[in-house]
Chain A
Amino acid sequence: MVGGVDSTRSGIERDLAYTSGVVNGTREPASLAGDIRRFSTADWILAGTALFIICNGMSVCIGWWVRIPILVQLFPDAPTHFNTALIFILLAAGELGLVLRRRGVVIAMAIAVTGLASAELAEYALRMNLGIDTLFAVPFVGQNALFPGRMSGNTIACFLLICGAQVLMSKPDRGGGAATAAAVILKSLAGGIAIIAMLGYVVGLKSAYGWTDSVGMSIRSCAGVLLIFIATIAALWQRDIVDKPSLPNWFLPFLTISVVTISISLIWIFASPVARPFMLDPLYAASAHRVSLAIALSVGTLIFLGTISVLVAGHKAVMARVSEQSLRVAQARLKSTLEVSAVGTWTWDLASDRLIGDEFTARMFSIAASAAAEGLPAAAYLQVVHEEDRKDVADALERAIQLCGAYDIEYRVRQDAGAFRWLQARGRVESDGAGRAAYFHGAVIDINDRKLSELSLRDKNQQLERSNRDLEDFAYIASHDLRTPLNGINSTALCLEEDLHDSLSDESRKLLGLMRNRINHMETLLEDLLTYSRVGRTDTTVSETKLADIFDSIIEVLHPPAHIQVRVEGELPMIATASTQLEQVLRNLIDNAVKHHDKQSGEVVLSGRRVGDFVELVVRDDGPGILPQFHDKIFQLFQTLKRRADRKGTGMGLAIVKRLVERQNCRITVHSQGDGTGTQFRFKWPTLPSTRGAAETTNA
């Protein structure tokens, strides 16, 4: 995407996506396993804490039922009552409901908690015993209290605060909104109360942990509330602060409340006349000292917490700047690379039909860069495509969208000057969570030079093929049409010879003989020319043959003279190929070797071996050889190296051989010194692998 960088999805974005899924009705059916799979670190913190508290609560309940004092109280006179434990369990369940996003659960727990706590509160307010204190368990400890089994006022306050916070946070829009801020405030207050109570225990200040005449808030309750508070803050910190460059808007209220609570509690404790013994030290006797101490401690706390938050904020800002910097560098690098490679990028938002293109893309389509960067409907781009290509491009786009797949097409775009350029466009469709096409990302590449040279090459190829065909046709027709009058000449000469046989002088007879000789020569020439022009036009069916069989049929026709031995050396491989053409090559080579052999006795040897997809064949003889300077000439049309009188052939044999071999995209080479040590002709011939060869023959 041009300009945008997607950070890793934090919990908020996932929540938002989830929420929008709910709103759009495309949410997955709710499943516990699915929800647990989506847990972030923050969720695990909360879930873990909740489970711990539930276990704790269960142990208290069990302690009450089974009457185990150690499970029930840690300090004498401050047991955890059954109802307290019960409400803790309900609150923890509510936390779990928050984490699993089951609003119903949270509301249910909240109702239960509020009901129970309000009842207890009513008991205090109305100063009457409603019997709920001992509803579920009979107290066996702390019986010397005024109202055995009754929750302390602080505890009730904490419970109501926490429960209120949970309800607020269970709202579906769980972003860093006002609800979260309010919830954090409530939980911070609860946490504050718990801290004060804890400190009260530390300094032995009853009023800190016992607001009313009832038994005070037990250590366990303090710990429980603190745990919930800390877990919530930790989870929010993890979710909202760790990955984000700026602080969420609940952070400052949280900080304020924490600082205020701690300060007040410190002041209260140290200003109290019933403080710890060391407070009664004459040095600290004066309340002024105590107050100043308290103030110092609060200011210290303020500074401490303030520094932390400033550092956090600062760090976040620095990180943001650094990542922004590296982002800018990466973008610049990408841009220059794309420019150099003549590549442009584009993104098409399918829902709103906005196609955003970068500078290069805009330039290619003759669109203003600013308009392109803002986003235009795709039709604006399609319009610039060459009329002939437009339909294909539209179809390809449509197909890619339908299949949510890839897109790769070449087309022309009209340039300002009326000319056009070839572009290659590639892209891919990105689908939304529900499998529908959402975005289309892609690139355009300027392939004009390459395409034009490709097209010109294709044209030239076609021209070449055409002229080749014309040449072949010409050679065929020419040789055919030239033979007719030649036959006429030959016949006339024959007749003359017949008629004048007796009355011819020796000289005239010789002349006629020469004429007949040349006529025959021309006939052979024309025949060879015909063969040459037909090379490759004849039988091209592929069949599996034994080279040995080809060799045998050549020998049958050739009738080599007795003094020259024509044989095969070694094992000839089996090949699958157009055997007629190969036979022609071998026949010409062997014929040539036999014809030009000059010794009293000699040999022509054929050997071959399989080399991968080819067979390498060698025809060698021990004849006069060919001088190196003529190695190229011998393959030329009509070339022979002998004088006119000694000439036995028309000089086309090797030209035909070369043509046939080169038709198979192979090469033929001659190896000889020309000093009477013989000649070797080597060439490769393709052979199809056996299975394919067999398949070809059955399909042919």
Chain B
Amino acid sequence: MLDPRTAHLLHVEDDDICQMMLSREFKKAKIANPISGACDGIDALEMLRGTNGRERLSRPFLILLDLNMPRMNGIEFLKELRQDEDLKKSIVFVLTTSDSDEDKVEAYNLGVAGYILKSNPANAFLEATALLDTYWRVVEFPAA
């Protein structure tokens, strides 16, 4: 069972200001769960697999994914993720500025749990935090 207190959050986002904002919101909401940041899809995969000298991310985890990133963007990362035996069941929320229908369709096709739009920078992270907080308290997960 996913213990809300131990779940690790992986924030995949190239903009460091956004990463900082999310951490601030977590602190304000007094959520103690660890947040790790990856700057793009490749970085995130290394962290998830523990390759390239990185430390493997502790399970269980939840991924918060931006779409517009250099080197490997969100959609490409998702495709990789779903092909990896070990990682394909990961829970992913998309948090992005992109309003395009194509991205939404593609993301849901690749099995994201939700698609959140960063419309208002002030509220976006606050709401995302509230969502995550409620999510891992309310939702059940399989034992594995």
Residues of A at the B interface (CB closer than 8 Å) are 483-484, 487-488, 490-492, 494-495
Contact = CB atoms under 8 A, between A and B. Distances in A.
Contact of A494 (B15, B68, B97, B121): B121
16 contacts: A484-B15, A484-B68, A487-B17, A487-B97, A488-B15, A488-B17, A490-B122, A491-B17, A491-B18, A491-B21, A491-B121, A492-B17, A494-B121, A494-B122, A495-B20, A495-B24
A483 B97 contact: yes
Nearest to A492: B17
Contacts of B17: 487-488, 491-492
Contacts of B68: 484
A319 to B, nearest CB: 86
Nearest to A495: B24
Interface residues of B, number: 11
Contacts of A484: 15, 68, 97
Contacts of B20: 495
Contacts, number: 24
A519 to B, nearest CB: 10
Interface string B65-105: 00010000000000000000000000000000100000000
B15 to A, nearest CB: 6
Q: From DSSP, what is the main secondary structure of chain A's interface residues? A: helix
B131 to A, nearest CB: 18
A492 B15 CA distance: 12
B121 to A, nearest CB: 5
A491 B13 CA distance: 15
A491 B122 CA distance: 6
Contacts of B21: 491, 495
A495 B22 CA distance: 11
Contacts of B121: 487, 490-491, 494
A394 to B, nearest CB: 49
A36 B24 CA distance: 112
Contacts of B18: 488, 491
B18 to A, nearest CB: 7
Contacts of A490: 121-122
Interface string B99-125: 000000000000000000010011000
6 closest Cβ contacts across the A-B interface? A488-B17, A491-B121, A487-B121, A490-B121, A491-B21, A491-B17
A111 B93 CA distance: 117
Given A483-B97, A488-B17, A490-B122, 4 more contacts: A491-B122, A494-B121, A495-B20, A495-B24
A483 B120 CA distance: 12
Nearest to A499: B24
A492 B20 CA distance: 9
Contacts of B24: 495
Contacts of A495: 20-21, 24
B118 A487 contact: yes
A367 to B, nearest CB: 61
A521 to B, nearest CB: 15
